[in-house]
Amino acid sequence: MTRIEPTTHKKAFKYRLYPTPPQRRDLERTLSLCRQLYNAALQERREAYKKAGQAVGFYEQKRHLPQVRAELPEYKGVHSQVLQNVIERVDLAFKGFFRRVKAGQKAGYPRFKGQGRYDSFTFPQAGTTGVKLQERGKRVLIHGVGSVKLKLHRPLEGRLKTATLKREGDDWYIVFVCETEPNPLPENRAAIGIDLGTNPHFLITSEGELVEAPRYFQKAQAKLATAQRDLARKKRGSRRRKQARRRVAKLHRKIANQRKDFHHKLARRLVNRYGTVVHEDLGLARSRTAKGVQDAGWAAFLQTLAYKAEEAGRRVVGVDPKHTSQDCPVCGHRERRPLWVREYTCPQCDTRQHRDVAAATNILARARTEPAGMGTAWAVP
Ligand SMILES: [Zn+2]
């Protein structure tokens, strides 16, 4: 069995912030100043490019920053590295533009950022300057803003590299990017198959575990449906419609965050317990319209799972799921059944099992028999 040695990873940790009203104003003001600087730097580069077809460079613009801070006192309260990062963002936008031009692609010229189109600022060397966690992660000290309460729902790991303050609707978040060492878990020869489930089950394992999406997540989804109906009833252009739209957007963000968190925890649990996780390959899973509703969520989950497995030196294998929901996991008898039949009863050997547990068992077995055609060297004990 070959082991893939993982390299250093960059890992992002996103936490909700709870700023006081004055802190919120400071965050908003910093964001607004960064946006103005971005637009000014963009303007300068556009003009230089138009005039002479030449580029004002990143370093040249960076050199002007102390001057900006000297002449415009409002910029004094913003950390110099945050401002440098703004210049870097302009530089990246231009680099992307030139790359697309060179490749002969349709290249949109870098655009000015309107209000609401610029929603974050970054401390590029957060490990050494600009932000600092306090009180064992209950608060974070942010340069120019002060000590802000945060919810550290999972621990930070690795070496802190950057911290980005991000506005999503009315909420603020901090995203820490850390560099983590490869962290292989001890060798584990246990393997499990998972079947991606239908409501209310998110997935079902070959060991008979039925994993449901957390209740709070289902509740939030029900709330979203109500909010969407509510929005549809509001008159176009009205203030109430605007409010309803904000509520829908907020719920969308909340659900996206909860989903991510659920995926992380579930993937972590599987990777901790099993050396190998076998799932149906979504690319090979055709005609699964009955299950199609959740497809987007699964793809994201499988990505998280693959990432965590690689980091831990564990294995994730996708197999062709054809017939896995029709075959008897014990004797191999094949029979098509309507999807609403939840219990698998084999007429040949009298095996009785939950349909999806049977499918998960078949998925696991397939990894044992199928040649390593999925880009993974593969052997099950
Ligand atoms: Zn059977």
Rounded (10°) CA dihedral 288, 293, 295, 298: -120
Q: How far apart are CA 376 and CA 120, in angstroms?
A: 39
Domains of the chain: 9-180 (no CATH), 191-214+260-369 (3.30.420)
Is residue 137 within 8 Å of 152, Cβ to Cβ? yes
Rounded to 10 degrees, the C-alpha dihedral 228/233/237/238 comes to -100
Report helix, strand or coil for 77.
helix
Q: How far is the CA of 327 from the centre of ligand 1 (A)?
A: 8
Adjacency order of strands within the sheet including 139-142:
120-123, 159-168, 171-180, 9-18, 146-151, 139-142, 131-134
If you measure from the C-alpha of residue 236 to the centroid of ligand 1, how many angstroms do you get, rounded to a whole number? Answer: 59
Distance 324 CA to ligand 1 centre (A): 13
pLDDT, tens digit only, all 381 positions of the chain: 344 444 567 888 899 999 999 999 999 999 999 999 999 999 988 887 777 666 667 778 888 888 888 888 899 899 999 999 999 999 998 888 888 888 888 777 888 999 888 999 999 999 889 999 988 889 999 999 999 999 888 888 889 999 999 999 889 999 999 988 777 788 888 999 999 877 778 899 999 999 987 777 778 888 999 999 999 999 988 999 999 999 999 998 888 888 888 999 999 999 999 999 999 888 776 555 445 545 557 888 999 999 899 888 899 999 988 888 889 998 889 988 887 788 888 988 888 888 889 999 999 999 877 554 443 434 333
Helices 239-273 and 295-312, packing angle to 10 deg: 40
Q: SS3 of 256, please? A: helix
**Cα(347) to centroid of ligand 1, in Å?**
7
Give the residue numbers annotated as catalytic, written as ranges: 195, 280, 356
How much is the pTM?
A: 0.66
